[in-house]
Amino acid sequence: MTEVIVHMRHVRAMKGCSRGARAFCERHGIDWSAFLKEGIPASRLRVTGDAMAIRLAEIAETEHGR
């Protein structure tokens, strides 16, 4: 099973902004540039325990039919 990757379009889908997403990445040690270029595995967001990050993972998973 291929890992679902979360991209900036998913942040936008939940009405998020780049400023907030960037701050989240900084707080959790996620490379912002890499996130923008390649996305991030949904599992990496889930382990933060952050409710909004988990919701973001769910949006990406739903898009991929999971």
Determine the average pLDDT of the residues in 30-47.
96
pLDDT of amino acid 65: 83
Helix (H) / strand (E) containing 6: strand 5-6
Checking if the pLDDT of 22 tops 90, the result is yes
Checking if the pLDDT of 48 tops 70, the result is yes
Determine the average pLDDT of the residues in 39-43.
97
Domain count, the chain: 1
Checking if the pLDDT of 1 tops 70, the result is no
Integer Cα distance of 41 and 54 in angstroms: 11
Distances (CA, A) of 19 to 2, 23, 59: 29, 6, 19
Percent of the chain exceeding pLDDT 90 equals 91
- Number of Cβ within 10 Å of residue 20's Cβ equals 11
